[in-house]
C-alpha cells in the first residue's frame, strides 16, 4: 500500500519492555517486503540493527524513543514512535510477606506488606476477605537504594471479625511466565481477652521467714 507503507501498530506494541542485556524487537513492519527501512533515535540519528520484514528491527537498544523511515516514490514516510524501557529483573521472583501482627481486635487497623526484590516491574494482586467489598487501601513504594525492591502495603481500617482469613499476594513477572505467591493468616477477635489460671488457693497462709511462690498462668 503506497499510501501506508508501514503496517499500523497497536498501542501495546509501541511500549517495549525489555530486561537488561536482552535483545528487543522494534516492530515497524512494511506492507512492501522490498522496502528499504532505516531506524532513527530521538536525536534523528541512524541506528544500525538487523531488519526482518516480518518482525522489525532486532538488536540491543538503549532506552529511549525510536522511529522507522522509508521512501515511497520519493516521499518519506515515518512509522509510529516506539519507546523502549529497560528494566532490572531476575528470572525468579523473590517475594516476602509480613504482617505487623496476626491477631487483632475489632476496630484496629490491619497492615500487611508484600515485598518484591530485585525486580523493577511486576504485576501484583492481593486476595483477602474484604476484597469483594473493596475494603482496603494499597500503596506502592519503589525503593532503588541500596537495592531494588517494590514494597506493596495493604491497609484495612476499622477491622471486623469478617476480616479474619488468609491475606495473599501474588506477583507475576513482567516479561516471563513466572509467578510467586505468599500468604499470612490474620485473626480478628470481637474483643480482647485475658485468661488467668492461678495455681494457689483464694486464701494462703505463710509462716514468718517462709519463702513461698505464687504462680499464675496467663493466656
Q: Which fold has domain 95-189?
A: Immunoglobulin-like (2.60.40)
What pLDDT does 128 receive?
96
- For the chain, what are the domain ranges? 11-87, 95-189
Residues 118-132, mean pLDDT to the nearest whole number = 90
Query: For 169-206, how does the pLDDT look when each residue is reduced to its tens digit (9 = 90+)?
Result: 999 987 778 889 999 999 999 987 888 999 999 999 99
Is the predicted pLDDT of residue 22 greater than 80, yes or no? yes
Alpha-carbon span 86 to 22, nearest angstrom: 9
**Residue 27's pLDDT is what?**
94
Fold of 11-87: Immunoglobulin-like (2.60.40)
CA dist 68 and 46 (Å) reads 10
Kind of pairing, strands 82-87 and 15-19? parallel
**38 Cβ neighbours under 8 A, 6+ residues apart:** 46, 68, 69, 70
pLDDT of residue 72: 87
Phi, psi of 178 (to 5 degrees): -125, 135
> 67 pLDDT exceeds 90?
yes
- Rounded CA separation 154/191 (Å): 23
Give the global pTM.
0.61
Query: Residue 191: its pLDDT value, please?
Result: 84
Give Cα 84 to chain centroid, integer Å. Answer: 19
Q: Do domains 11-87 and 95-189 have the same CATH topology?
A: yes
User: Which residues, other chains included, contact 3 with Cβ-Cβ below 8 Å and sequence gap of 6+?
Assistant: none
Predicted confidence (pLDDT) at residue 167 exceeds the cutoff of 80: yes
For residues 163-171, average pLDDT: 96
C-alpha cell read off for 137:
487501601
* Per-residue pLDDT tens digits for 134-146: 889 999 999 988 9
Amino acid at each position: 500500500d503506497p499510501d501506508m507503507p508501514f503496517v499500523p501498530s497497536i498501542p501495546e506494541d509501541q511500549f517495549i519492555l525489555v530486561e537488561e542485556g536482552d535483545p528487543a524487537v522494534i516492530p515497524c513492519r512494511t506492507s512492501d517486503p522490498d522496502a528499504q527501512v532505516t531506524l532513527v533515535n530521538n536525536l534523528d540519528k541512524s541506528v544500525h540493527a538487523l531488519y526482518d520484514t516480518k518482525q522489525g528491527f532486532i538488536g540491543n537498544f538503549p532506552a529511549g524513543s525510536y522511529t522507522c523511515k522509508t521512501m515511497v516514490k520519493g516521499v518519506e514516510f515515518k512509522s509510529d514512535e516506539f519507546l523502549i524501557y529497560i528494566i532490572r529483573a531476575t528470572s525468579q521472583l523473590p517475594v516476602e510477606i509480613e504482617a505487623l501482627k496476626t491477631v487483632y481486635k475489632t476496630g484496629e487497623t490491619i497492615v500487611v506488606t508484600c515485598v518484591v526484590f530485585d525486580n523493577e516491574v511486576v504485576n501484583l494482586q492481593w486476595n483477602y476477605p474484604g476484597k469483594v467489598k473493596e475494603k482496603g487501601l494499597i500503596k506502592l513504594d519503589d525503593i532503588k537504594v541500596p537495592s531494588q525492591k517494590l514494597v506493596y502495603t495493604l491497609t484495612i481500617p476499622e477491622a471486623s471479625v469478617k476480616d479474619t482469613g488468609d491475606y495473599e499476594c501474588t506477583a507475576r513477572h513482567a516479561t516471563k511466565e513466572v509467578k510467586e505467591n505468599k500468604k499470612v493468616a490474620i485473626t480478628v477477635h470481637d474483643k480482647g481477652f485475658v485468661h488467668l489460671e492461678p495455681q494457689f488457693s483464694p486464701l494462703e497462709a505463710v509462716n514468718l521467714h517462709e519463702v513461698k511462690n505464687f504462680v499464675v498462668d496467663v493466656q
